[in-house]
């Protein structure tokens, strides 16, 4: 590191450990700047005192107007100039400032009230003058615009203790001389330095409050540094004072990777170079005025952006150069959007290889006073395209048309095209220099977000890549690009529908595992929505899974709207979206194709989609072309890897010949227990008491649920099969199917005689009864009770175990068996969780991002 870097480097290190302790007492000079929000009301103004008690020998505090004041003054100046009434706004603004003064100076020790009242009298006079003025009113308008800084500087001076405490006040117009120009307002350093030196010899101030924003032109006329210009004022005074540091206090923790109002996930940048800050500010990052850096850069004054609302945060240090290793964190530092642009294109075959075309075009624009924000030219030189401000677009078009009138007339140029409603997205970072792939990553992210790029430019410094896009795409593009550079590619926005038994079990599993996944495997699962049939709770960031169910009963919770829910889950600022449907509702399943087509992954333990209407099943398959995946491992055998196994067999080219399974834990338990010692009906009753059956055991005994699972397996095995195609043997005798549940339970022993007869017959043949789902080419799909030899896999299960046996070309004589507990909320939820993780793991290579 060069010696020039040492001070900033140290400052960064100590700022991180303790922001205020870092400030060395003694011979230092420090400039603080407080923005509008930091002086928004009396409470905020009174809170500034401890922030400037920094032990520096010389302190200058540059202030903006109270938040909203300049906007009001700009409006009043316009009203006055156009003959409208401004008195109401003037009175309201005066009242606001007087009320603030009353709180800051309750005993009127500083005479604040009268001083503020006088400032407003002067403002009124200026407005009256403006209303009756004819001719040049620029200085008068500037005087009105700058009135807010004059008053706020009084308020701040008093809040810091006033003259009694040694705080002087400087009206920047007494020393700051500037000249408005093409590139913004330029400082007349010589004149300013001279006046500043003079003022200093007179005042010798050690503590001074300075008005931001305002200045004077060489001829003495009032002017301003342009909207948001008090950052620039602060930098100029840091230079004039030859300060050791400039602290710009605002309402965010520092410079963020993107505008936090557009990208909720934006992160604070600990350091950046002057050049990066310049570029970001130029391309619209409101946190800093674009001209702020030059005056501090020439004296290598470190600049720190800090938060008045959170003064212990270290802030962002802007330094001559980035610390070493900085680019390893992210090659891109910040992303910005500039709106209200237009693309101007001059195209024509006759321009190929004609020297001077570009020069002629830009000269024409220059003469017309149009500033070119971005330039790009195709390497074929077939067209030249540049981006200009929308407000100058028509002027630009006319100027270029005039310059190329001959070429257009002779058809060697096709004419000038103007595309309006354009925004520029700029990615900025010193670390982009020489790092390949940064642009590719940006373009891939934009392509995935379906953002069409109109023009591309890379600054010759390689510190900036800018793309022109449709204005309507701006926020989406910014969020997509931000997530590509700052978020783990495995960040998934999750919505859960139906927090029943399985849903709740999943929530508790998520609560336990999410932090570990984030820490260990870059998988960042964010539960951002939860819904039941009545309500939904949505969160911009994330809902803690342990609190999710409670969020549904809060008073403000809106009614459940599946489309709004899906739109929220598919957040633009997060790379991936996934809905978990634990609702068991057919109505919800109908949304799957639409959700999948929109790029939202769907995971469910519900059988509706997998075993329902064939057309919808096909629609779901097709919708997955978006890259989104539909996963339903938990529909068969709960957490057991049944579907996955089947998929792997097929994907690796095996041929499924038969599937046999015990797919109902209830029926497995019944036949495991049915040895003749107790009647079948007694076992059904016991199973019901143990909670193994549905409330109406006929739902299990009918075999329908098993048939659904068989349909799911058959489809997964590549068959076009529906529930009607399955031959299902119901264990409920015909005459008991329509009776009430109570009557059925009362007449349960009518099942016993036929079942006993089947058992006796099987035992006589040395076989065992099992409830089996079977699928094969020869026998089709059927579900029912069969007698199996004692060495069959299905005869070696325990309790409620599920079992699925795959007979395939490879596993022909010794079939592949998956066996284990196949029911219960915990294992079902684990199956669902497994699907979520399988999807998250597949995302690292960009599969399945938003379509």
Give residues in contact with ligand ADP (CB under 6 A): 35-38, 64, 228, 250-252, 255-256, 258-261, 285-287, 334
- DSSP of 338-376: EEEEEEEEEE-GGGTT-TTHHHHHHHHHHHTTPPEEEEE
- 387 secondary structure, DSSP code: E
CB-nearer residue toward ligand ADP: 147 or 287: 287
Q: How far is the CB of 559 from Mg ion (least distance, A)?
A: 41
Question: What is the distance between the alpha carbons of residues 279 and 293, in angstroms, rounded to a whole number?
Answer: 10
Q: Which 202-231 positions form the footprint of Mg ion (CB under 5 A)?
A: 228
> CB 178: neighbour CB atoms within 10 A?
26
Helix (H), strand (E), coil (C) string for 451-478: CCEEEEEECCCCCEEEEEEEHHHHHHHH
430, interface contact from ligand ADP, ligand ASP, Mg ion, none, CB < 5-8 Å by kind: none
Quick one: 375 exposed, middle or buried, by C-beta within 10 A (0-12, 13-18, 19+)? middle
Site string for ligand ASP, 192-231 (x = CB under 6 A): --------------------xx-------------xxxxx
CB-nearer residue toward ligand ADP: 40 or 77: 40
Strand 184-187 vs strand 26-34: parallel, antiparallel, or unpaired?
unpaired
CB-nearer residue toward ligand ASP: 249 or 833: 249
37, interface contact from ligand ASP, ligand ADP, Mg ion, none, CB < 5-8 Å by kind: ligand ADP
Q: How far is the CB of 75 from ligand ASP (least distance, A)?
A: 12
Q: Can you tell me whether residue 801 is helix, strand or coil?
A: strand
CB-nearer residue toward Mg ion: 285 or 484: 285
Q: Which 138-157 positions form the footprint of ligand ASP (CB under 6 A)?
A: 148
285, interface contact from ligand ASP, Mg ion, ligand ADP, none, CB < 5-8 Å by kind: ligand ADP
Report if residue 70 touches ligand ASP, rule: CB under 6 A.
Answer: yes
Short-list 289, 296, 134, 123, CA closest to 222: 123
400 phi, psi to nearest 5 deg = -70, -40
Q: How far is the CB of 161 from ligand ASP (least distance, A)?
A: 24
CB-nearer residue toward Mg ion: 232 or 617: 232
Site string for Mg ion, 555-594 (x = CB under 5 A): ----------------------------------------
Which residue's Cβ lies closest to ligand ADP?
Answer: 35
Residue 637 falls in which region: left (phi positive, over 0), alpha (psi -120 to 50) or beta: left
Q: Which 227-286 positions form the footprint of ligand ASP (CB under 6 A)?
A: 227-231
List b or e across 664-690, with b for residues whose CB sees 16 or more CB atoms inside 10 angstroms.
Answer: bbbbbbbbbebeeeebbbebbbebbee
256, interface contact from ligand ADP, Mg ion, ligand ASP, none, CB < 5-8 Å by kind: ligand ADP
Binding-site size for ligand ASP (CB under 6 A) equals: 13
CB-nearer residue toward Mg ion: 60 or 751: 60
Q: Which two tokens stand for residue 90?
A: 């003037």
Q: How far is the CB of 528 from ligand ASP (least distance, A)?
A: 35
- DSSP of 154-215: HHHHHHTTTGGGTEEEE-GGGT-EEEEETTEEEE-HHHHHHHHHHHHHHH--SEEEEESSEE
CB-nearer residue toward ligand ASP: 227 or 737: 227
258, interface contact from ligand ASP, ligand ADP, Mg ion, none, CB < 5-8 Å by kind: ligand ADP
CB-nearer residue toward ligand ADP: 153 or 228: 228
Short-list 300, 269, 264, CA closest to 287: 269
Question: What is the distance between the alpha carbons of residues 178 and 240, in angstroms, rounded to a whole number?
Answer: 14
229, interface contact from ligand ASP, ligand ADP, Mg ion, none, CB < 5-8 Å by kind: ligand ASP
Residue 594 falls in which region: left (phi positive, over 0), alpha (psi -120 to 50) or beta: alpha
Question: What is the distance between the alpha carbons of residues 189 and 132, in angstroms, rounded to a whole number?
Answer: 35
CB-nearer residue toward ligand ASP: 68 or 815: 68
Question: What is the distance between the alpha carbons of residues 699 and 717, in angstroms, rounded to a whole number?
Answer: 26
- 437 secondary structure, DSSP code: T
Question: What is the distance between the alpha carbons of residues 541 and 396, in angstroms, rounded to a whole number?
Answer: 43
CB-nearer residue toward ligand ADP: 280 or 301: 280
70, interface contact from ligand ASP, Mg ion, ligand ADP, none, CB < 5-8 Å by kind: ligand ASP
Q: How far is the CB of 157 from ligand ASP (least distance, A)?
A: 17
What is the chain's length? 851
Q: How far is the CB of 38 from ligand ADP (least distance, A)?
A: 6
CB-nearer residue toward ligand ASP: 229 or 498: 229
Q: How far is the CB of 56 from ligand ADP (least distance, A)?
A: 21
Q: How far is the CB of 233 from ligand ASP (least distance, A)?
A: 8
Report if residue 79 touches Mg ion, rule: CB under 5 A.
Answer: no
CB-nearer residue toward ligand ASP: 148 or 302: 148
Please say whether the beta carbons of 250 and 287 come within 8 A: yes
Give me the residue label for tokens 């100039």: 81
575, interface contact from Mg ion, ligand ASP, ligand ADP, none, CB < 5-8 Å by kind: none
Q: How far is the CB of 254 from ligand ADP (least distance, A)?
A: 7
808, interface contact from Mg ion, ligand ADP, ligand ASP, none, CB < 5-8 Å by kind: none
Q: How far is the CB of 374 from ligand ASP (least distance, A)?
A: 25
Q: Taking the C-alpha atoms of 310, 311, 312 and 317 in order, what is their torsion angle to the nearest 10 degrees?
A: 110
Quick one: 33 exposed, middle or buried, by C-beta within 10 A (0-12, 13-18, 19+)? buried
Site string for ligand ASP, 419-458 (x = CB under 6 A): ----------------------------------------
Instruction: Report residue 680 CA to chain centroid gap.
Output: 58
Question: What is the distance between the alpha carbons of residues 81 and 135, in angstroms, rounded to a whole number?
Answer: 11
Indicate which residue of 33, 397, 607, 709 is catalytic. 709
Q: How far is the CB of 81 from ligand ASP (least distance, A)?
A: 19
334, interface contact from Mg ion, ligand ASP, ligand ADP, none, CB < 5-8 Å by kind: ligand ADP
Give every strand in the sheet of 271-273, ordered side by side.
167-170, 207-211, 56-63, 26-34, 245-250, 303-307, 316-319, 271-273
65, interface contact from ligand ADP, Mg ion, ligand ASP, none, CB < 5-8 Å by kind: ligand ASP
Q: How far is the CB of 248 from ligand ASP (least distance, A)?
A: 10
227, interface contact from Mg ion, ligand ADP, ligand ASP, none, CB < 5-8 Å by kind: ligand ASP
Q: How far is the CB of 207 from ligand ADP (least distance, A)?
A: 21
Which residue's Cβ lies closest to Mg ion?
Answer: 228
Helix (H) or strand (E) holding 275: helix 274-282
Q: Which 28-47 positions form the footprint of ligand ASP (CB under 6 A)?
A: 35-36
Question: What is the distance between the alpha carbons of residues 785 and 807, in angstroms, rounded to a whole number?
Answer: 20
Report if residue 38 touches Mg ion, rule: CB under 5 A.
Answer: no
Q: Which two tokens stand for residue 554?
A: 């809060």
Choose the binding region for ligand ASP from 63-71, 422-430, 445-453, 474-482 (rule: CB under 6 A): 63-71
Question: What is the distance between the alpha carbons of residues 286 and 155, in angstroms, rounded to a whole number?
Answer: 25
Q: Can you tell me whether residue 819 is helix, strand or coil?
A: strand
List the beta bridge partners of residue 170.
Answer: 210
CB-nearer residue toward ligand ADP: 334 or 431: 334
516 is catalytic: no
Helix (H) or strand (E) holding 662: strand 656-662
Catalytic positions are 709
Residues that bind ligand ASP in the complex, under the rule CB under 6 A: 35-36, 64-65, 70, 148, 212-213, 227-231
What is the contact surface with Mg ion in residues (CB under 5 A)? 35, 228
């Amino acid at each position: 590191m060069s010696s020039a870097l040492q001070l900033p480097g140290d400052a960064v290190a100590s700022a991180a450990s303790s922001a205020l302790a870092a400030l060395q007492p003694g011979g230092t000079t420090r400039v603080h700047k407080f923005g509008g929000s930091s002086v928004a009301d009396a409470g905020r103004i009174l809170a500034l005192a401890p922030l400037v008690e920094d032990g520096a020998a010389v302190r200058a505090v540059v202030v903006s107007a109270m938040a909203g004041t300049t906007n009001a003054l700009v409006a009043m100046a316009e009203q006055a100039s156009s003959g409208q009434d401004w008195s109401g706004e003037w009175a309201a603004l005066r009242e606001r400032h007087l009320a603030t003064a009353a709180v800051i100076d309750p005993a009127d020790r500083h005479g604040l009230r009268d001083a503020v009242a006088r400032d407003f009298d002067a403002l009124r006079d200026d407005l009256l003058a403006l209303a009756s003025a004819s001719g040049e009113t620029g200085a008068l308008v500037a005087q009105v615009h700058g009135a807010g800084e004059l008053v706020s500087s009084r308020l701040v001076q008093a809040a810091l203790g006033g003259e009694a405490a040694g705080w002087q006040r400087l009206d920047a117009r007494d020393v700051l001389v500037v000249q408005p120009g093409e590139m913004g307002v330029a400082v007349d350093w010589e004149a300013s330095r001279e006046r500043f030196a003079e003022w200093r010899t007179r005042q010798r101030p050690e503590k001074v409050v300075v008005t931001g924003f305002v200045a004077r032109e060489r001829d003495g006329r009032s002017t301003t540094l342009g909207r948001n210009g008090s950052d620039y004022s602060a930098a100029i005074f840091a230079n004039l004072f030859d300060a050791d540091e400039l602290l710009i206090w605002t309402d965010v923790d520092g410079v963020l990777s993107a505008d936090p109002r557009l990208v909720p996930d934006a992160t604070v940048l600990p350091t950046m170079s002057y050049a990066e800050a310049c570029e970001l500010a130029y391309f619209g990052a409101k946190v800093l005025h674009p001209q702020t850096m030059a005056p501090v850069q020439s004296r290598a004054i470190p600049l720190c952006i800090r938060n008045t609302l959170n003064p212990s945060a270290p802030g962002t240090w802007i330094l001559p150069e980035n610390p070493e290793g900085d680019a390893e964190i992210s090659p891109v530092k910040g992303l910005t959007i500039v709106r209200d642009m237009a693309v101007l294109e001059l195209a024509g075959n006759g321009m190929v290889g004609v020297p001077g075309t570009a020069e002629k075009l830009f000269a024409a624009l220059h003469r017309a006073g149009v500033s070119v924000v971005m330039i790009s030219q195709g390497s074929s030189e077939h067209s030249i395209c540049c981006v200009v401000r929308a407000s100058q677009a028509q002027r630009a078009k006319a100027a270029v048309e005039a310059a190329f009138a001959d070429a257009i007339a002779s058809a060697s140029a096709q004419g000038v095209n103007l595309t309006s409603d354009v925004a520029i997205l700029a990615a900025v970072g010193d670390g982009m220099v020489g790092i390949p792939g940064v642009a590719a990553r940006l373009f891939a992210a934009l392509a995935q977000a379906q953002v069409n790029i109109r023009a591309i430019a890379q600054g010759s410094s390689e510190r900036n890549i800018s793309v022109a896009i449709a204005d309507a795409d701006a926020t989406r593009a910014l969020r997509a690009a931000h997530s590509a550079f700052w978020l783990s590619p495995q960040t998934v926005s999750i919505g859960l529908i139906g927090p029943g038994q399985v849903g709740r079990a999943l929530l508790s599993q998520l609560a336990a595992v999410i932090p570990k996944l984030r820490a260990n495997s870059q998988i960042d699962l964010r539960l951002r929505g939860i819904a039941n049939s009545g309500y939904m709770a949505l969160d911009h960031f994330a809902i803690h899974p342990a609190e999710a169910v409670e969020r549904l009963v809060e008073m403000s919770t809106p009614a459940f709207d599946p489309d709004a829910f899906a739109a929220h889950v598919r957040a633009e600022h997060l790379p991936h979206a996934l809905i978990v449907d634990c609702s068991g509702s057919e109505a919800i399943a109908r949304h799957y194709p639409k959700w999948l087509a929109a790029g939202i992954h769907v995971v469910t333990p519900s059988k509706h989609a997998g075993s329902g209407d064939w057309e919808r099943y096909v629609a779901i398959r097709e919708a997955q072309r978006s890259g989104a995946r539909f996963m339903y491992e938990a529909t068969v055998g709960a957490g057991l890897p049944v579907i996955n196994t089947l998929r792997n067999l097929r994907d690796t080219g095996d041929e499924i010949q038969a599937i046999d399974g015990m797919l109902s834990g209830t029926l497995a338990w019944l036949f495991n227990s049915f040895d003749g010692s107790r009647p079948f009906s007694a076992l059904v009753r016991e199973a019901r008491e143990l909670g193994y059956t549905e409330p109406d055991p006929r739902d299990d005994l009918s075999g329908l649920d098993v048939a659904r699972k068989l349909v799911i397996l058959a489809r997964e095995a590549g068959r076009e099969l529906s529930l009607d195609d399955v031959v299902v043997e119901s264990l409920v005798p015909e005459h008991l199917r329509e009776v009430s549940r109570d009557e059925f339970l009362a007449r349960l022993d009518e099942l016993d005689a036929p079942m006993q007869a089947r058992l006796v017959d099987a035992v006589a043949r040395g076989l065992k009864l099992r409830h089996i789902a079977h699928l094969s080419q020869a026998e089709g799909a059927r579900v029912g009770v069969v007698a199996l030899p004692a060495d069959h896999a299905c005869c070696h299960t325990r309790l409620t175990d599920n079992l699925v046996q795959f007979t395939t070309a490879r596993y022909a004589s010794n079939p592949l068996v998956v066996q284990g507990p196949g029911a219960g909320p915990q294992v079902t939820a684990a199956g669902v969780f497994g699907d979520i993780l399988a999807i998250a793991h597949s995302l690292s290579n960009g599969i399945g991002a938003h379509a």
